Amino acid sequence: MAEYTDLDGAVNDVPELSDSEDEEQWMEEDDPDHSDESVPCLFCNRSISSVSETFRHCQADHGFNVADLVRKHRLDDYGYIKMINYIRTTKCSMETLVSCSGDALPWSSDEYMKPVLPDDPLLQIDVEELTGDASACDDVSVWMQRAQRAEENLSRAMDDLHKLKVFVQGLVLNSDGTQKSAGSVAELREDEDEAYFSSYGHYSIHEEMLKDKVRTESYRDFMYGNTEVFKDKVVLDVGCGTGILSMFAARSGAKQVIGVDQSEIIYHAMDIVRANNLESVITLIKGRIEEVDLPVEKVDVIISEWMGYFLLFESMLDSVIFARDRYLADGGSVYPDRCSISLAAVGDTEKHDGRVAFWDDVYGFKMPCMKKAVIPEAVVEVLQPETVISEPTVIQMLDCNSVSLSGLEFTSDFILKITVNTQCTALVGYFDVFFDRGCANKVMFSTAPHCTKTHWKQTVFLLENPITVQSGEELPGQITVRKNKKDPRALIVTLTIRDWRQTYSVQ
Ligand code: SAH
């Protein structure tokens, strides 16, 4: 945890906030919240009936004036709490307390934030109560001073927050400076993931997916062509959307299909299932797969269409892995069962000029910073297959039946075998999907540039400066794929080619 900024040194010229009359007034006030309690004294074994009585006793018998100390050290709530815990921990004398001054208060450590006594009534008061009653502060200058102090407190809090952020960032960095895992989307709070699910609430995204024939027909052909995988089985459809995969599974002979989706589209799915008289087989549940209670303990088959741009964007595979580990019966299968991610080199000088060199001369002005902004954003677009200038190389294979979350972030060395004498201006990434396991009729589809285009298109990583390459040359590189720790649904991709290195976001 971050150290809190020392309060005494940081605040200059804060005048006294109340006069002794106010203090008296506070001392005289009833202390209704704490009057029934027994409050252990800070310095002796006595327990006293209320907080105000305790402080009165501390002042009369031990010479301890809490308001004086709070003012002297300009303690805020945290400083006050730490002081009380420090006194209770160390059982220090009044002399020690009085002699404290300057920056190094002995209670500045955060260890003193921990209460020494459970429910210590002395910790349940507002420091402002100690230094004066707000109603006594009619004087505008006093209000101004208070406002100034509040601003200073806020600035210190921001400072602390910044330190905490730096500290936490340090925690997620390995000693070699590389990022550790950003965690699973299962850990996202509902409000953090709201935008994601509301994007799936609208019909248009489902229309686009359903009209993507390469995608939807592959699922259909796999299920209709391998009915033995589904016959009399219990099937879980993770992220059922309109229910299309659940209905394919039902038509393939599944005994029971459970479709789960957190987005509002599931209400349409309920109507769709009824419209097709499949409600006796398909049960639909609204909610996150990580949170819902399924009506069964285990399922035989999990189907899901979880793939995002560059395969892993959206991180929905996290949720399928969760479902697999929680619900899949021994011997059960997840489909699709295998996926690969591939890279190839691209030579498209015209497009590179249009996107990158363009910023060198914009109506006679150079805009180098714009170039710097363009490069790190991977572009999702359909690539002209004739611009591919190397053989493809697989950089990662995923087995959906065994992969763990850590396998979704990886580093891979690759070699691109160049097939044309030209300039390499970018790399292209895409993925292939396989329905293989136990299937008499295996099905696969590819999102490669030379295949029928899909709604996933391809993902293009522009090079800042084109590289001259020769046919037959082997261009070595390395790729690292990580979740963005600020948004585990987004990806950070780092490419190293020859001695040039660039980090991209896929979002
Ligand atoms: N299966 C449908 C929809 C696929 S799109 C089809 O093939 O057409 C992915 C769907 O998964 C979206 O509707 C999204 O809301 C849902 N989804 C993603 N993560 C989820 C989770 N953790 N829990 C429940 N639903 C999820």
Determine the distance separating the centroid of ligand 1 and the alpha carbon of 219, expressed in angstroms: 15
Ligand 1 atom with the smallest distance to the CA of 261 is: 25
Q: At which residue do the structure tokens 């920056």 appear? A: 103
Q: How confident is the model at residue 28 (pLDDT cuts 50, 70, 90)?
A: very low
Q: How confident is the model at residue 20 (pLDDT cuts 50, 70, 90)?
A: very low
CB of 288 shorter than 6 A to ligand 1: yes
Where does CATH 3.40.50.150 sit in the chain?
203-305
Determine the distance separating the centroid of ligand 1 and the alpha carbon of 117, expressed in angstroms: 50
Q: What is the pLDDT of residue 169?
A: 43
Choosing from 23, 152, 314, 473, the catalytic residue is 314
CB of 212 shorter than 6 A to ligand 1: no
Ligand 1 atom with the smallest distance to the CA of 289 is: 23
The one-letter code for the residue type at 89 is T
> From the CB of residue 294, how many other CB atoms can be counted at a distance below 10 Å?
18
Q: What is the pLDDT of residue 144?
A: 65
CB of 66 shorter than 6 A to ligand 1: no
Nearest residue to 320 (alpha-carbon basis) of 293, 342, 301: 301
Q: Are 291 and 268 in contact (CB under 8 A)?
A: no
Q: 203-305 adopts what CATH topology? A: Rossmann fold (3.40.50)
The pTM assigned to this predicted structure is: 0.67
Percent of all residues in the chain with a pLDDT value above 90, rounded to a whole number: 61
Residue 406 has pLDDT above 60, yes or no: yes
- pLDDT tens figures, 140-154: 556 666 666 666 666
Give how far the C-alpha of residue 230 lies from the chain's centroid of Cα atoms, to the nearest Å: 36
Say which residue, 160 or 119, is predicted with more confidence.
Answer: 119
* 202 three-class SS: coil
Q: How confident is the model at residue 407 (pLDDT cuts 50, 70, 90)?
A: very high
Q: What is the pLDDT of residue 167?
A: 46
CB of 127 shorter than 6 A to ligand 1: no
Q: How confident is the model at residue 126 (pLDDT cuts 50, 70, 90)?
A: confident
Q: Are 356 and 375 in contact (CB under 8 A)?
A: yes
Q: What is the pLDDT of residue 52?
A: 86
Sheet with 410-417, side-by-side order of all strands: 410-417, 474-484, 487-497, 500-506
Determine the distance separating the centroid of ligand 1 and the alpha carbon of 206, expressed in angstroms: 10
- pLDDT tens figures, 322-381: 999 999 999 999 999 999 999 999 999 999 999 999 999 999 999 999 999 999 999 999
- pLDDT tens figures, 243-259: 999 999 999 999 999 99
Establish whether 314 is a catalytic residue.
yes
Q: At which residue do the structure tokens 């910044």 appear? A: 162
Q: 338-506 adopts what CATH topology? A: Hnrnp arginine n-methyltransferase1 (2.70.160)
Residue with the smallest CA separation from ligand 1 atom 13 is 241
What is the distance between the alpha carbons of residues 325 and 172, in angstroms, rounded to a whole number? 25
CB of 314 shorter than 6 A to ligand 1: no
Q: What is the DSSP letter of 377?
A: B
Where does CATH 2.70.160.11 sit in the chain?
338-506
Residues 6+ apart with CB under 8 A from 439: 222, 225, 226, 229
Determine the distance separating the centroid of ligand 1 and the alpha carbon of 215, expressed in angstroms: 14
Q: What is the pLDDT of residue 436?
A: 97
Q: Determine which of 15-29, 108-122, 305-319, 412-426 has the lowest per-residue pLDDT on average.
A: 15-29
Which regions of 363-486 does DSSP assign to beta strands (E)?
Answer: 379-381, 393-399, 410-417, 422-435, 443-446, 458-469, 474-484
> From the CB of residue 276, how many other CB atoms can be counted at a distance below 10 Å?
13
- pLDDT tens figures, 217-226: 999 999 999 9
Determine the distance separating the centroid of ligand 1 and the alpha carbon of 406, expressed in angstroms: 22
What is the distance between the alpha carbons of residues 120 and 106, in angstroms, rounded to a whole number? 20
Q: What is the pLDDT of residue 168?
A: 45
**Mean pLDDT of all residues in the chain?**
86
Q: What is the pLDDT of residue 94?
A: 82
CB of 259 shorter than 6 A to ligand 1: no
